[in-house]
Amino acid sequence: MSERFQVLAKDGLARAGALATAHGPVETPVFMPVGTQATVKSLSSADLEALGARIILANTYHLAMRPGHELIRGLGGLHGFMAWPGAILTDSGGFQVFSHSGRRAIDEDGVTFQSHVDGSPQRLTPESAMAIQAALGSDIAMAFDECPPSDADPGALAKAMERTTRWARRCLTTLAAPGQLRFGIVQGGTSLPMREAHLAEMAGLPFDGLALGGLSVGEPPEVMHEVVAHVAPRMPADRPRYLMGVGRPQDLLAGIAAGIDMFDCVMPTRNARNGHLFVPAGHLNIANTRYRSDPEPIDSACPCEACRRYSRAYLAHLFRAKEILYYRLATLHNLQYYLNFVRGARQAILDGRFADYAAERRALGEGGE
């Protein structure tokens, strides 16, 4: 396992590493833009290349429902389908099935649910979730886990944890795509003892990396930070550590400080579409009237196309007019911000000044509207 992942430098608990995937190396820590339906919303794969993205996330559940994983397999897998030469991580579909589907029924074998596209009955099991990911041909496949609701009582949490372990073993018995890595998911809610217990189980399985699931699902950020600070340093040091679905820039700093290597979140892309643009001093809301005639770019130091070429005034106009171009420019900017933010953290770790970097960014980030 460890020959695929190397820790190149440590600075406190923070790590700078490199993960070899079937579609090239990924420098860590890394932020993965979310491409739910085989496109990072509003962006082309050329746009992602221009941003310097090396790995993106795609959603197994959405793609299995539409257009279907066998169709994608026939078109060269996700890489061929979306013409993306970089790495792709697919989630297992579990999170969507557990949180987004209306009616669903869980049994020991798997989950029965309704398609969000056409309402048809569907079923996912550990084996089928991995088979779908093999058909998609992702570089990293996630194990199919049971995601308990954020308000689950300790008994339900423990049951979900135990089932996740049994399902993880079943995931490992399936055929992977060529070169495909597999990550297990550590559950346990916000209980530190349960997290430790589940980590001990999962660390013993031959996954290529481990993820923390079931966080950033409604608990206060400080609680999430506490869990990450406690659990991340206890995760196997020779394998990548992935904090799923997190988060705000300050959450990334907290995760990196605790030794997390990988992140994904819809925040930069979703917020962009809502007018929330990240800047070093926090963020700006492009809907604010003050930007209507502002000739400055979003961030004069940002190298993205939106900042190189357009004013806040133009973006404010496009936003008000609901022009499609707004969504692309805003998404380009927010992803550039996130990618550069994490690249900056990586360089700081390599330079042995991560604490200073984090302090500077936290101090700056107190601004915003």
State the residues that interact with a second copy by CB under 8 A: 37-39, 41-46, 66-67, 71, 74-75, 81-83, 292-293, 295, 305, 309-311, 313-314, 316-318, 320-321, 323-325, 327-329
- Strands 55-58, 87-90: pairing kind: parallel
- Smallest gap from residue 333 Cβ to a second copy (A): 13
What is the distance between the terminal CA atoms of the chain, rounded to a whole angstrom? 45
Query: What are the contacts of 49-53 at 24+ separation with CB within 8 A?
Result: 49/85, 49/86, 50/305, 50/332, 51/304, 51/332, 51/335, 51/336, 51/339, 52/339, 52/343, 53/86, 53/335, 53/339
Supply the minimum distance, in Å, between the C-beta of residue 57 and a second copy.
16
Nearer to a second copy, 290 or 292 (CB): 292
Q: Residue 334's closest CA among 253, 242, 266, 251?
A: 266
Task: State which residue, 42 or 340, has the beta carbon closest to a second copy.
Answer: 42
Spell out the residues 6+ positions from residue 46 whose beta carbon is closer than 8 angstroms to its own.
Answer: none
Judged by beta carbon, residue 66 or residue 100, the one nearer a second copy is: 66
Q: How many CB atoms lie within 10 A of CB 199?
A: 21
Min CB(246)–a second copy separation in Å: 25
91 noted as active-site residue: yes
Q: Which is nearer to a second copy, 209 or 275 (CB)?
A: 275
Q: Which residues contact 141 (CB under 8 A, 6 or more apart)?
A: 89, 90, 92, 130, 133, 134, 176, 177, 180, 181, 182, 183
- CA 92 to CA 96: how far, in whole Å? 9
Order of strands, edge to edge, in the sheet holding 121-124? 104-106, 111-114, 121-124
Q: Decide if 264 is catalytic.
A: yes
Residues 6+ apart with CB under 8 A from 251: 216, 221, 224, 225
Of 47, 145, 264, 299, the catalytic one is 264
Q: Which of 91, 139, 145, 208 is catalytic?
A: 91
Smallest separation (angstroms) from a second copy to the CB of 304: 12
Nearer to a second copy among residue 25 and residue 67 (C-beta): 67
- At 135, the amino acid letter reads A
Q: Output 321 or 355, the one with its CB closest to a second copy.
A: 321
How near is the Cβ of 299 to a second copy at its closest, in Å? 16
What span, in angstroms and rounded, lies between the C-alpha atoms of 132 and 117?
18
Closer Cβ to a second copy, 61 or 81, answer by number: 81
Looking up tokens 């073993």 gives 169
As to burial, measured by CB atoms within 10 angstroms (0-12 exposed, 13-18 middle, 19+ buried), residue 321 is exposed
Smallest gap from Cβ 252 to a second copy, in A, equals 25
Closest distance to a second copy from the beta carbon of 136 (Å): 13
What residues are annotated to the active site?
Answer: 91, 264
